[in-house]
Copies of this chain bind each other. A is one copy, B any other.
Amino acid sequence: IENQRDTDLVALMEDMHYADVAEIIDELDEDEATYIIKLLESDKTSEVLTELDDDVREAILGNLSAKEIAEELGELDTDDAADIVGELPNDIIQEVISEIMDREHARDIVDLLRYDEYTAGGLMAKELVKVKEDWNVLTCVKEMRAQAENVTRVHSIYVVDADDKLMGRLSLKDLLTTSTTTHIKDIYIPKVDRVGVNEKPEEVAKIMSKYDLEAIPVVDEIGRLVGRITIDDIVDVIKEEADKDYQMAAGISQDVEAHDSIWKLTRARLPWLIIGMFGGIGAASIINSFQAVMSEFPILLIFVPLIQATAGNVGVQSSAIMVQGLANDTVKGEIINRLLKEFALGLINGAVIAVIVLLISHFAFQTSYLISATLCIALVTVIIIAALIGTFIPVFLDARGIDPAVATGPFITTGNDIFGILIYFSIAKVVLGI
């Protein structure tokens, strides 16, 4: 397909959805990808660009002239355009911006560049329909028609005062059923959900999904309407958040995907393995320091993996429940009540596990009663303490303003490994009277 048949290719691609075209281009090499992007019309390729993998997009944009990039940006909504401009090398940003034909569009993009990517300001688009409260219905309809040209989906009509302060929203039905000379200020709905430009994307996502909103206006520090965020951007935020939490729980420290380079994957994975390694070394020194126990009761050592695995599993379960509870705002009440609940839970789970282990160790490993007692007491203690640590750490981190998701995964597991082994041998020392 790639070689000559340009017209066939164009015809084929024009019929496809841009998200599908992007998937195909992600699979091609750099030259082929650039070739196709140059071949297609910019109203199609601009959308394709937003859907591409970061690396692929960077490579393609590197092969386009400032003028060509400007053309693509001209077709995009301001939020998508600003995201792409933000990825360009600094020295060509100015050139690209100056090539954008629509000066107002260019101004909006530059405005958006000012906002931190991880705020509502970084997510919002400038495209929206707004009317002034002192207009009458006739002016309003005329202005709206002009504004709506640039807006893909209208969703809501926002009402602002002379200073651009967000006052409320307008119902389309009210607008159409009122006489043309009525003033907007007499018919608008003054209640409208909004978020500040500095709000975190997760918070915006929470608000929009709680109230089932499809778009939300964004206001600056003094209440002026500066943009709006639509639900499709929020869907991306929710997915990224979930992916990030999941990766953190699995001990992956950067946002990586299966097809990333070995080098990138190593950078994401090695740090956590090294933390785990130091945990293992720590456990080794602890065991080593209990030489007396080791030499007198070597049988105790064969149960070290059991203690360790149990401590790790309980810790991860407890912390995962807390991390999710904190993320969904369903954690209520005093922390002391939560800890008491985890204590009770640990006691029940620990008792069940201990009874099973007691039977197995007694019959399968012929351990003495004292060894079995040591094992069972250690298991119950370890389970309770691991549950308490797993519950407390996320709450503690959250209170300190740190994302509690870092607590799950290797940190909790490693900490609990060491604690678990320390508890196990300490209890052995007491029970066995060494």
Contacts and interface: CB of A to CB of B under 8 A. Distances in A.
A113 interface: no
A265 B313 contact: no
A305 B287 contact: yes
A280 B321 contact: no
A341 B262 CA distance: 7
A267 to B, nearest CB: 11
Given A324-B257, A325-B257, A356 B274 contact: yes
This chain: copies in complex = 2
Contacts of A281: 306, 357, 360, 364
A338 B360 CA distance: 40
A301 interface: yes
A257 B325 CA distance: 7
Interface in A198-247: 209-212, 214, 231-232, 234-236, 238-239, 241-243, 245-247
A15 to B, nearest CB: 8
Contacts of A273: 310, 313-314, 317, 349, 353, 383
A232 B312 CA distance: 37
Given A214-B153, A280-B309, A306-B281, A250 B317 contact: yes
Contacts of A158: none
A214 B152 CA distance: 12
B250 A316 contact: yes
Contacts of A413: 309, 312-313
A78 interface: no
Contacts of A345: 262, 265-266, 269
Interface in A120-175: 153
Interface string A337-351: 010010011001100
B348 A266 contact: yes
Contact of A231 (B231, B256, B266, B417): B231
Interface in A272-330: 272-274, 276-277, 279-281, 283-285, 287-288, 294-295, 298, 301-310, 312-314, 316-317, 319-322, 324-325, 328, 330
Name, among A242, A283, A313, the residue most crowded by chain B CB atoms within 10 Å (CB to CB): A313
Interface string A102-115: 00000000000000
A74 B251 CA distance: 49
Contacts of A349: 266, 269-270, 273
Q: Closest 7 interchain pairs by CB?
A: A280-B306, A242-B242, A250-B320, A258-B325, A283-B305, A287-B302, A284-B302
